[in-house]
Amino acid sequence: MKGISGGGSRTVLITGVGKGLGRALALELANRGHTIIGCSRSQDNLNSLQSQLSSSSSKNHLFLNADVRSNESVEEMARLVMDNKTVPDIIVNNAGTINKNNKIWEVPAEEFEAVMDTNVKGTANVLRHFIPLMITAKKVEAIIVNMSSGWGRSGAALVAPYCASKWAIEGLSKAVAKELPEGMAVVALNPGVINTDMLSSCFGASASLYQTPQAWALKAATMILNLTPADNGSSLTV
């Protein structure tokens, strides 16, 4: 089945849209004529993204200050999206964080919880409130992309909390794939290695040797737009 990259405009919800991969993907998809619903905890980042898009796109994008770690915050975001009549065709659960390099017994409990709250609970909160909206709106070929990692399929020293969270995303995606109605799809997507703040946290200065979020977004946008119900339950890599 052909994807919809060459078809009409899609509405795409991207979490963690303020910086890094989320921002780059939002800009790339908007430049291709798609409508973006974006959320971030930083109003400043949302404002700068909004102004960057207003000069290059006439689409009616919707940017919301929301914290995916909070079920109530995501519930409110879903209500605003429904009120705005912009139920997404595609969701990209991108918001994520990583622990500072440390052995698991040296990672503070609060830091471990922060990784789990954002990467796992944040994704689950979005699924909880947006899958019903997509089903009710009878979204044809609705696609959910849960951002995973190479470390969601292997282990690495000093980032055990992050590895655990991304292994959880892989399992969550596989299970939800069996629960979705026919015609919808959820995938776990490993973005690859990209020069972001999170990579700098692990790799230090050598992070600059890797591709930029902007270069990544060119490939990622095409791949995401070409996903179909046949991809349901897949673990993919950009």
Catalytic residue IDs: 162
Rounded Cα distance between 202 and 223, Å, is: 27
Rounded Cα distance between 91 and 158, Å, is: 30
- Edge-to-edge strand ranges of the sheet holding 143-147: 62-65, 35-40, 11-15, 90-93, 143-147, 185-190, 235-237
Question: One-letter amino acid identity for 93?
Answer: N
- Which residues, 6+ apart, have CB-to-CB distance to 48 below 8 Å? none
Rounded Cα distance between 226 and 214, Å, is: 19
The 3-state DSSP class for residue 212 equals coil
Rounded Cα distance between 95 and 13, Å, is: 11
Place of tokens 């780059």: 24
Rounded Cα distance between 12 and 2, Å, is: 18
String of DSSP letters for 43-74? HHHHHHHHHHHHTT--S--EEEE--TT-HHHH
